[in-house]
Amino acid sequence: MASLSGLASALESYRGRDRLIRVLGYCCQLVGGVLVEQCPTRSEVGTRLLVVSTQLSHCRTILRLFDDLSMFVYTKQYGLGAQEEDAFVRLVSVLGNLADQLYYPCEHVAWAADARVLHVDSSRWWTLSTALWALSLLLGVARSLWMLLKLRQRLRSPTAPFTSPLPRGKRRAMEAQMQSEALSLLSNLADLANAALAAPGAVGRPPSPWLVGLMGTISSILSMYQAARAGGQAEATTP
């Protein structure tokens, strides 16, 4: 009952529903792609799963039509990252926010072109939105790698004379942050692989649905685990 209650609570939020739709869509694409390519007797089931995956992807695209304002508010609140102590983290975060902010209107135009609301070439706008997505992911990878390096140095650096070692609580917090950055890194790398596969002419032919589904499933599960882990830590620290 507790797990069902937690799932219902997660589905009440937009982000929770989006994570579930994402993981279901990519899982359908993974299983459907494998059945179509490797199991001829089950190809019809695989084709139906691929249709479900496509519809779930369209669902997320339409829901993102309303993400511009929330992204703008976040970008405005973050500003130039004055709260960040590290200049490199500040730089990649600001550039990542800018890429994310530009991604949404490009995707909206591409969607509108496919729906024949606008009479423009949708392929160019899909290419541009994919490039912005890839740029955001690359910046996220660079940020996570930099943070992991800095945190590792702080944990392994020898204690200076006349200074006390790191308190146990602070060391645990840094180790938890390292685990979070590692999860973000793996998730971004999996998504980056899909962004590369989606780039025009990147692999010379359309990528196999099961491969796209596999990378997306890995990324989605890592993202869901990270969100659940962060929620558990927040509950543990709440008095």
pLDDT of residue 86: 86
Task: Report the residue count for the chain.
Answer: 239
- The structure tokens listed for 213 are 């589904």
**What pLDDT score was predicted for residue 94?**
95
Q: 152 CB contacts (<8 Å, ≥6 apart)?
A: 178
What is the reported pTM? 0.85
Biggest CA-to-CA distance, the chain: 72
The pLDDT of residue 227 is 83
Quote the pLDDT of residue 182: 93
Q: What pLDDT does residue 162 have?
A: 45
| Ranges of each domain in the chain | 68-154
Average pLDDT of adjacent 10-residue blocks, the chain of 239 residues: 61 84 95 88 89 95 92 90 86 95 95 92 92 95 94 72 62 85 94 86 72 94 85 55
Q: Residue 100's closest CA among 60, 64, 71?
A: 71
